Amino acid sequence: MQFSRDQSETLIEIMKWRRDVRHFSSTPIPEDVMTRLGEAMELSPSVGNSRPWRVLRIRDEDRRARVSELFERCNKEAAASYTGEARQEYLKLKLAGLREAPEHLAFFTETEPQEGRGLGRQTMPETLFYSTVMAMHTLWLAARAENIGLGWVSILEPGELAGILDAEDSWRFTGYLCLGYPTFTDAEPLLHRKQWQSNKQSVWATR
């Protein structure tokens, strides 16, 4: 299988227009689109082919409200760690769209999967979590290509979140995703545009 220059440029365009979305319309995502996103996620890499991601789709209004409240509390605590102007800047940022987003997906990692038979993770057990992260990133890109916005919420206390969602004991919370149609699209990261943190070019060093 050989990909063309046009195809690789399409991938780059999708990556350029992927954003962490916090401004959602409440329009539902059609079920066939959600199915396609799930199918795309199955193509993700994982250590030893262990596929340790465990996905909960949160539909219960009470649980969704409790997750939003947990975010609001954790975000208030985070704001309190800044002082002066930085705190004012922080408080102006919209860091999640939990109340508006039509879809909430909670990602956990199974820490003791049978699948994969331990391959590839004896010196680096954290590769299980890394596998879940790549599945989330796969979903993110697939969502963008379907013109759906996705926002990753990490301002949540993992143990409390697992409790709200009745997660299995062997699962560990890895990240919470909001999905929905974005109210605008942008090629520039929000934190860059809002002058919280500019895009800083990486350096590759040689050894």
Binding mask 31-70 for its own copies (x = CB under 8 A): -------x-xxxxxx-xxxxx-xxxxxxxx--x-------
Nearer to its own copies, 100 or 141 (CB): 141
CB of 74 to its own copies, least distance (A): 5
Query: Looking at the DSSP assignment, which residues form a beta bridge with residue 54?
Result: 108
Which amino acid is residue 135, in one-letter code?
Answer: A
Cα–Cα nearest to 154, from 93, 80, 67: 67
The position carrying tokens 């309190």 is: 80
Please tell me the distance from the alpha carbon of residue 60 to that of residue 71, in angstroms, as a whole number.
17
CB of 51 to its own copies, least distance (A): 6
Nearer to its own copies, 82 or 99 (CB): 82
CB of 186 to its own copies, least distance (A): 8
Please tell me the distance from the alpha carbon of residue 62 to that of residue 123, in angstroms, as a whole number.
41
| Beta carbons within 10 angstroms of residue 173's beta carbon | 21
CB of 100 to its own copies, least distance (A): 19
CB of 196 to its own copies, least distance (A): 7
- Window 76-135: residues binding its own copies (CB under 8 A): 77-78, 81-82, 86, 90, 93, 95, 105-106, 115-124, 126-127, 129-130, 133-134
| Beta carbons within 10 angstroms of residue 77's beta carbon | 11
Among 25, 72, 141, 181, binds its own copies (CB under 8 A): 141
The angle at the Cα of 104, spanning 103 to 106, to the nearest 5 degrees, equals 150
Q: Positive or negative, the Cα torsion across 123, 157, 40, 134?
A: negative
CB of 141 to its own copies, least distance (A): 6
Please tell me the distance from the alpha carbon of residue 103 to that of residue 96, in angstroms, as a whole number.
13
Does 14 help bind its own copies (rule: CB under 8 A)?
yes
Nearer to its own copies, 100 or 120 (CB): 120
Among 21, 98, 101, 142, binds its own copies (CB under 8 A): 142
The set of residues, in sequence order, having a beta carbon less than 8 Å from that of 170 and lying 6+ positions away, is 110, 111, 112
Binding mask 151-190 for its own copies (x = CB under 8 A): -x-xxxxx------xx-------xx---------x-x-x-
Structure tokens at 20: 């962490």
Nearer to its own copies, 142 or 178 (CB): 142
